[in-house]
Structure 1
Amino acid sequence: MFRFGTAQWGGSRGDGKTPASRTPVSAMQSFWGLMRAYWFSDRWREAWGLTLVVAFLTAFSSKVGVWFAVASGELVNSIAYFHSPTNEAPLASLLSNAAFLVALVVFKDAGITGTKSFVSATLHRRWRAWLNSRFNDALLDANHTHFHAQHGADTAPDNIDQRIQESIKGMTGGAIGLAMGVIAVASSVFFVGQKLLETSTEVRGFEFLGEYGGLVFALVAVAAYVPVNTWIAVRLGGLLERLSIRMQKAEGSYRGELSTLLRRSFHVASAHGEAVQKTMHERLYTEIDRTWGRLNWINAGYGSFERIYNFVGARVVAYGPGLLPFIHNRIDLKGYITGAELVNSLISQCSWFIHVMPAIATLRANSRRVIDLAQAIESVQEPVNFYRLTGDCEFRYMTQNPVFGLAIHNLRLSHHGHGSEPFLVCDRLGFRRGEWTFLKGESGCGKTSLIKALNGLWPYGGGTIAFPEGVTSFYAAQEVKLLPVTLKELVCLPQGAENHNDATVAAALHKAGLGEFIEHLADETRAGKSWDQLLSGGQKQKLVVARIILHKPGLLFLDEATGALDPESKIAFHQAIRDNCPGVTVISVMHEQAPPRSASGEEFYHSVLTIADGVATKEPMIPSLPPELTEILNRPPQAADGWLHIPRRRLRTSSQS
């Protein structure tokens, strides 16, 4: 992990607004907020333009559906009266009606529906891309939201990658499909109802209804048939929603473990841990299989229910309202067939909710996953307040005159849980400008935790940490993970490649001992492998040196950053920093009992910070420090002294891991 800048938690942004009101996903913490965010964003013209086109095509398709019902009646009528003496051109009438019906189908399905599918797919693609960018910006901000969101012990969302990819994709596609269905229902009810009203006739025995008898019968049939079955669909849909959420969690956990295995494949192989890993996979997949089995039962039952519902609606209920008028010669066969097709169309459209219940269940499950992530992002915008929910967090990050370097006062580091006893105590520490400090202690004593706390990446504990104002910092850890970008971009991180010319980057690589790769600055891969795959552990740590040389930070944290280097390379690592970063303050964690010296025997480090029995104490390696510097090192950081102040704005940071 690398950081450039200084970490600051809490406090005001200096603009009178809370951080929660400024995140890109602030408006997406509820279902309707998530649904409408795109349409009220800076992309509103694009969103509404595509939506209106989809709405128009959907409504027009409903109108064509009415024409289809009328054409079906004409075709059936031409068949029924094919041998009628009054039919002067039976074959021509039959063929023309059939041709018109086929042309109508082609126009509706290939023309209108095809165009609507393309436009709706474009809307889906644009909406998903916008949401992806919003969550990308929210997670990868200067607040390290991606880090904090995963380290909230009680509220950390699982499988963030799945939520951003699969859940957003499924949610946006499902929402667009359901919206199109709503428009289709509304437009069909209007157009079909209009046609039913136009063709409605008096029903014998119900003369008091007048000429609206046929319309009333049709509406009563729909009202009696659809709601009861909709209630059944809602109950089944609730089961589908709960099982869908459970299935997504199980799938995400299994996929996450597979991804982790690929990253630690060497460690599993070297430890012969395949049997344990296999058992873990089997346990995770058992949950998938069990949930999938229940989903299959519910889906199969729902499918059977839907097929029976469709048959009864299309072949029984739809033909019922016009039966009495037809028996009593109030309407002819053509009118009967046309009316039945219209009622069937109305039932079909009003049954849209039943047909899409599985899609609604999936939409709700996906949206719940996305909303939970948005809420988690919001909750960590004030990290101190966020961590206080699950433990003690009383850190204060300040700045002071750079002359006095880095200062620590009354630092206590603890673990999750309120009232947890501190495992590391630092009462008063100071690191002057240009001082190199060697941090040592037994494994597990808290060396790395201290480095993380100084960089705002340890959640629990408290104390005051004063950074030298205007000084950039760089945090280098033992494990180096490289992004799939060009070699120049890797050296320039966290800044952009455009901020440095090739000659400067090449010089940094040469000084770091990676001169053999200078000619590949513009390459993302070499010999078919990414730089993360190609470079050894030692070469990756030399790449870190190149970054340090290029950026020349004033404050450098080395957390076992030379663990993969041999003794000679460790000396070269330190010498490169000493020669190219004058005045840098270094705090370094190493496993060695004594820090390396230069080739001439000169000490790189001026002091040693020892952690023993939970207490950190600092002593000079070179005892002859000037009295005035000794006084500064022992001076606590207090605002009353005049050189310490709380910044008005949170300092910006950037990181790469």
Structure 2
Amino acid sequence: MRNFWGLVRAYWISDRWKEAWALTLVIALLTALSSKASVWFAMASGELVNSIAFLHDAANTRPLETILTNAGILVLLVMLKDVGFTGVRNLVSATLHRKWRGWLNDQFNQALLDGNHTHFHAQHGSADGGIVAPDNVDQRIQESIKDMTGGAIGLAMGVLGLATSLYFIGQNLLQSSVEVKGLEFLGSYGSAVLALLAVATYVPLNTWIAVKLGSLLERLNIRMQKAEGSYRSELTTFLRRSFHVAASHGEGVQKRMHDRLYVDIDRTWGRLNVVNTSYMSFELIYNFVGARIVAYAPGLVPFIHSRLDYKGYITGSEMVAQLISQCSWFIHVMPAIATLRANSQRVTELANAIEKVQHPQEFYSQSGRSDFHYASQNPVFGLTIQKLELAHQGEDATPFLSSANLRFRRGEWTFLKGESGCGKTSLIKAINGLWPYGRGTIVFPEGVKSFYAAQEVKLPQVSLKQLVCLPGSEGDHGDTQVASALHKAGLGDFIEHMANESREGKSWDQVLSGGQKQKLVVARIILQQPGLLFLDEATGALDPDGKIAFHQAIKDNCPDVTVISVMHEAVAPRSAAGTEFYHSMVLIADGVATKKPLAPSLPLELTTILAQPRPVEDKWTRFSRRLKQK
């Protein structure tokens, strides 16, 4: 699905091909019937106009009845064509649109949300490496796919309608064709050839003009989509950090940012309106000239020379008008085709980006050095990192973090210490396969589940139980297990609301405070029972007592977990009794990560006793004590 035609045909050769082809065949049949009805319509129009023209003819014994009958037949044909054929076809095509879009949307979601973390890698392209990350992925998946599938169906129906109209109308024109003075060498096909020549000259010339205008519309549509996507993305980001903007009185800066982004929308929209208006004027003039001049001109020659009667002239001209209308379908829908091309470009760019990051190291190697190796070993040996170097983009980039060997035993707690920007979070990303550039070998404990907890907790719009069960499904755990995890994490007050997606009309993302969200993370950890836990400033929103409770809950409920934690504190937190939670520390200084054990600390009660002043003994007292000991 890396190009337009690949995207188009994928649905028709998928596991749902029966559904796709059944709807397509129904649309094709209704399109053919609609084209045939256009011939009937032209003939009925000729009959009606002819009955009006000969209203006062002496041979016409029932003039009014003839007019009413022909008018009634014309109305019935219009209803049959526009309601019976075109209307039903619209319903079937809309169903095909819905089914195709749903299938294609599902394919992109599966591709982006795979175990390869494609959604992450696809957004980390580099212009310097020749691979640009797709902007506004949400817009591409929703709006662009919807408009592309709808436009493609409309385009296919138009092409099919053109083919069937050429067949039916062309067949009728040939049957009713007469000789034309000056074109006697064509015989009885003279008027048909003249009509088809007029259509073949008029339509392609104006189609070329429409294509030029359509190309401009396509470029402006792409620019408009990018501008609107950027503006919407900023609005979404703002609403997520609304509290921070309010607390810092940052509305003025935010407004100026919105104004600046909307200027791009307004300018592009203005240019788009000018081109759309120009196209509309061109189309109106084209329609008038085609239906009233070009359609009636070819039959005028044989009509003047009495080779055609009035009825034949009108009927033939109406058929030419219908043929021009069908052949002009590309002109009528050129703005839609321009939009289709713009949307298909956006979708295929995303499809290409997804394809290119299926092998992340090959992808990143195009813009820098990426030589990471991942393996597994007996869980007894824990996690091992060897010859690790982390760098930024560029083949010759100097590593900003290196380590010869790091080993984290099973059940060991280690915290990373270093100045801001030294690479603590980058180290955790590299361990999890999410740092693009550098080299090294990371050996995971085999069969051990890992869990990553970040400082900022994002909560999707799902039930509280599902929030606790993430990244798994709520069906993986019973209510009792989830309630127990909430209680142990200090969120027992919310147990009775586990099945709800909101509380008092607010989502859980709005209901829970920053500290409560981090307690929710503790509940997840207790429920999931990971063997390898990464804490990336996961206690940043908690007070000192909350941080102790956070660590104590993990220590009490996950006894064999290996913990690697990033903290800004100079000293790792201790338990309420004064014992260390952490066994070791990785110090990052001058671009080198070094692991060292922490000195074990005594319990708080014993430390207090030892710190009390000891009484001074004189010589006699010391002698008496030694004598008693002997």
Q: Residue 595 of structure 1 aligns to which amino acid in structure 2?
A: A
Residue in 2 that maps onto 1:225: 202
Residue in 1 that maps onto 2:358: 381
1:372 aligns with 2:349: yes
Q: Which has the higher contact order (CA 8 A, sep 6+)?
A: 1
Residue in 2 that maps onto 1:111: 84
Q: Residue 249 of structure 1 aligns to which amino acid in structure 2?
A: K
- Measured against aligned partners, the alpha-carbon deviations of 1:48-107 in whole angstroms (never above 9, x if no partner) come to 111111111111001001000000000011111111110010110011111111111122
Q: Secondary structure at the match of 1:156?
A: coil
Q: Secondary structure at the match of 1:462?
A: strand
Q: Residue 533 of structure 2 aligns to which amino acid in structure 1?
A: L
Of 396, 399, 404, which residue of structure 1 is paired with 2:381?
404
Equivalent runs, 1:545-556 vs 2, <5 Å: 545-556=522-533
1:444 aligns with 2:421: yes
Distance 1:435 1:333 in 2: 99
Of 90, 114, 123, which residue of structure 2 is paired with 1:141?
114
Query: 1:190 offset after TM fit, Å?
Result: 0.5
Q: What TM-score results when the alignment is normalised by the length of structure 1?
A: 0.89
Residue in 1 that maps onto 2:12: 39
1:58 aligns with 2:31: yes
Residue in 1 that maps onto 2:62: 89
Distance 1:159 1:429 in 2: 39
Query: 1:255 offset after TM fit, Å?
Result: 1.1
Give the conservation status (yes or no) of the 8 Å contact 2:462–2:501. yes
Of 252, 265, 288, which residue of structure 1 is paired with 2:265?
288
Query: 1:478 offset after TM fit, Å?
Result: 0.7
Query: 1:205 offset after TM fit, Å?
Result: 3.1
Of 455, 458, 472, which residue of structure 1 is paired with 2:432?
455
Distance 2:487 2:238 in 1: 35
Q: Residue 89 of structure 1 aligns to which amino acid in structure 2?
A: R
- Measured against aligned partners, the alpha-carbon deviations of 1:367-393 in whole angstroms (never above 9, x if no partner) come to 000000000001111111111112221
Of 545, 550, 565, which residue of structure 2 is paired with 1:588?
565
Moved more, 174-183 or 392-401: 392-401
- Measured against aligned partners, the alpha-carbon deviations of 1:21-71 in whole angstroms (never above 9, x if no partner) come to xxxxxxx10111111111111111111111111111111001001000000
Query: 1:473 offset after TM fit, Å?
Result: 0.8
- Measured against aligned partners, the alpha-carbon deviations of 1:306-341 in whole angstroms (never above 9, x if no partner) come to 111111111111111111211122121111100000
- CA 1:523–1:623 in 2, change beyond 3 Å: closer, same or farther? closer
Distance 1:612 1:158 in 2: 36
Query: 1:293 offset after TM fit, Å?
Result: 1.7
Q: Secondary structure at the match of 2:539?
A: coil
Of 175, 179, 193, which residue of structure 2 is paired with 1:198?
175
Q: Residue 203 of structure 2 aligns to which amino acid in structure 1?
A: V
Distance 1:222 1:543 in 2: 71
Give the conservation status (yes or no) of the 8 Å contact 2:183–2:190. yes
Q: Secondary structure at the match of 2:596?
A: strand
Residue in 2 that maps onto 1:426: 403
- Measured against aligned partners, the alpha-carbon deviations of 1:180-203 in whole angstroms (never above 9, x if no partner) come to 101110000000011111111112
Distance 2:100 2:220 in 1: 26
1:496 aligns with 2:473: yes
Give the conservation status (yes or no) of the 8 Å contact 2:124–2:133. yes
1:604 aligns with 2:577: no
The structure with the larger Rg is 2
1:619 aligns with 2:596: yes
Q: Secondary structure at the match of 1:470?
A: coil
Of 235, 241, 244, which residue of structure 2 is paired with 1:267?
244
Distance 1:296 1:497 in 2: 50
Residue in 1 that maps onto 2:494: 517
Residue in 1 that maps onto 2:72: 99
Query: 1:204 offset after TM fit, Å?
Result: 2.5
Distance 1:267 1:416 in 2: 32
Distance 1:457 1:333 in 2: 78
Q: Residue 230 of structure 1 aligns to which amino acid in structure 2?
A: T
Of 77, 86, 95, which residue of structure 1 is paired with 2:50?
77
1:335 aligns with 2:308: no
Query: 1:261 offset after TM fit, Å?
Result: 1.1
Of 167, 174, 186, which residue of structure 1 is paired with 2:163?
186
Residue in 1 that maps onto 2:460: 483
Residue in 2 that maps onto 1:558: 535
Q: Residue 80 of structure 1 aligns to which amino acid in structure 2?
A: A
Q: Residue 58 of structure 2 aligns to which amino acid in structure 1?
A: P
Query: 1:557 offset after TM fit, Å?
Result: 0.7
Residue in 2 that maps onto 1:30: 3
Residue in 2 that maps onto 1:467: 444
Q: Residue 503 of structure 1 aligns to which amino acid in structure 2?
A: T
Moved more, 212-221 or 184-193: 212-221
1:540 aligns with 2:517: yes
Residue in 1 that maps onto 2:610: none
Query: 1:130 offset after TM fit, Å?
Result: 0.5
Distance 1:293 1:130 in 2: 35
Distance 1:208 1:384 in 2: 71
Residue in 1 that maps onto 2:277: 300
Distance 1:194 1:361 in 2: 32
Give the conservation status (yes or no) of the 8 Å contact 2:580–2:600. no
Query: 1:623 offset after TM fit, Å?
Result: 6.5
Q: Secondary structure at the match of 2:178?
A: coil
Question: Percent sequence identity over matched residues?
Answer: 72
Distance 1:435 1:474 in 2: 15
- Measured against aligned partners, the alpha-carbon deviations of 1:159-192 in whole angstroms (never above 9, x if no partner) come to 0001001100110111111111011100000000
Q: Residue 52 of structure 2 aligns to which amino acid in structure 1?
A: I
Residue in 2 that maps onto 1:156: 133
Q: Secondary structure at the match of 1:37?
A: helix
Distance 1:285 1:497 in 2: 41
Of 385, 392, 396, which residue of structure 2 is paired with 1:415?
392
Q: Secondary structure at the match of 1:150?
A: coil
1:326 aligns with 2:299: no
Distance 1:418 1:302 in 2: 50
Q: Secondary structure at the match of 2:394?
A: coil
Moved more, 202-211 or 448-457: 202-211
Residue in 2 that maps onto 1:358: 335
Q: What TM-score results when the alignment is normalised by the length of structure 2?
A: 0.93
RMSD: 1.3
Query: 1:586 offset after TM fit, Å?
Result: 0.7
Unpaired segments of 5 or more residues in structure 1? 1-27, 625-657
